[in-house]
Amino acid sequence: MSKKKNKGISGSQTITFRVSGEEMTKKSGYNLNYVIEAFSNADNLIKKTYLALNNRERFTENDAEKLTIRLTEVKEGSLLSELCVQYQSIVAPAMPFIISNQDFIVETIKDAYEYLKAKISAKKEGKPMEVVQKAGASGINVSNNQGTIIIMTPQGLPNVAEKLNQPITDLAQSIDGKNVTKVGIGTSNSLQHEEAVTIDSKDKDLFVGTTVTTDDEFQFVGKIISGNYETNRGRITISSSDHDDLEDGQTYSIEISPDLHAEEKWKEMFLTERPYYGKCRYQKNQEGAFKVSKLIITDWDETNWN
């Protein structure tokens, strides 16, 4: 790893990414749908880590020139891969000291995961909590002081961790306990050792929370902007709806009823506003509030299908 004066640091680091489960074995062949989802989540987590360390939200074309992620090797043993992250002129003002660690991306993800896990656990157990940020600290230290959970963190880590909450939750969301049972992230030294971060079904229960699907159907108009015909899943941008919990202009995940698995209709749905009937699936977040996590399309309004 090399350093350029006043321009941050440039270099590369190898990150291992392991996905375990019935659909992640070489013997039966890796299920492409799960592979694509896994690598997409890993790519997003690494980019969000870069953005969080720079106090930013949006990954731009300029960022793409500074940070590239490449799949360099896939090994046997679940889906065990190596990702090479190359970076130029990284400064990381949110946690400048972390850059001195050669594996600062994995270290940041590890600390964020452990901080969020301790915070969410304390809240769900109804225990008071105190966060202490200490300059120069390394790693997360959790202790119990007469019933109060004390979380000692490196300076600046809590804000970075909050920005990584959603991408870590997305990784946990992909674990179904069968097809995908565990996700591990580590450094090149972890190929034969335990990963720095391991997310399993228990973490899914902790990070993702409870999901509830309503029985009431409602009408809405939206444009499907992405979809997978094999899995009946995709994303839709809402134009208008009869439901108070949906926001016009917002994009939501969708699951389309298997009864509507018609190739011609799927072709007609994409990138055009269409009227639908559906239900809401809610997820109880880490704050205890329910939020729409997915729309279930049960039918389309053919009378208004132009």
Domains of the chain by residue range: 2-107+156-207, 211-299
Task: Read off the pLDDT band of 98 (50, 70, 90).
Answer: confident
Band of the pLDDT at 43, cuts 50, 70, 90? very high
Mean pLDDT, rounded, for 298-305: 76
Question: How confident is the model at residue 182, as a pLDDT?
Answer: 93
- Whether pLDDT at 258 is above 60: yes
**In the Cβ-directed half-sphere of 123, how many Cα atoms lie within 13 Å?**
14
CB 83 within 8 A of CB 46: yes
Dist CA 163 CA 111 (whole Å): 13
pLDDT at residue number 6: 46
* pLDDT, tens digit (0-9, with 9 covering 90-100), for 115-165: 999 999 998 888 999 999 998 788 999 999 999 999 999 999 999 999 999
How many other C-beta atoms lie within 10 A of the C-beta of residue 304? 10
Q: Give mean pLDDT, residues 219-243.
A: 89
| Amino acid letter, residue 235 | R
Instruction: Give me the helix-helix angle, 32-53 and 157-173, nearest 10°.
Output: 170
In this structure, whether the domain defined by 211-299 belongs to CATH 2.40.128 is answered with: no
Those residues whose C-beta lies under 8 Å from the C-beta of residue 66, and which sit 6 or more positions away, are 87, 88, 89, 90
Q: How confident is the model at residue 305 (pLDDT cuts 50, 70, 90)?
A: low
What's the mean pLDDT when you consider all of the chain?
A: 87
pLDDT confidence bin for 229, thresholds 50/70/90 = confident
**Percentage of the chain exceeding pLDDT 70:** 93
Whether the pLDDT of residue 5 is over 50: the answer is no
CA-CA distances (angstroms) from residue 36 to 5, 63, 205?
A: 38, 22, 23
Instruction: Answer whether residue 2 shows pLDDT above 50.
Output: no
In the block, tokens 């769900």 appear at 124
What's the distance, Cα to Cα, between the start and end of the chain in Å?
Answer: 58
- Residues 176-203 have pLDDT tens digits of 889 999 999 998 775 555 789 999 999 9
> Please, what's the b/e burial string for 104-124 (b: 16 or more CB within 10 A of its CB; e: otherwise)?
bbbbbbbbbbbbbbbbbebee
Nearest Cα to Cα of residue 54 among 124, 108, 133, 132: 108
Whole-number pLDDT of residue 196: 92
Mean pLDDT in residue range 214-241: 89
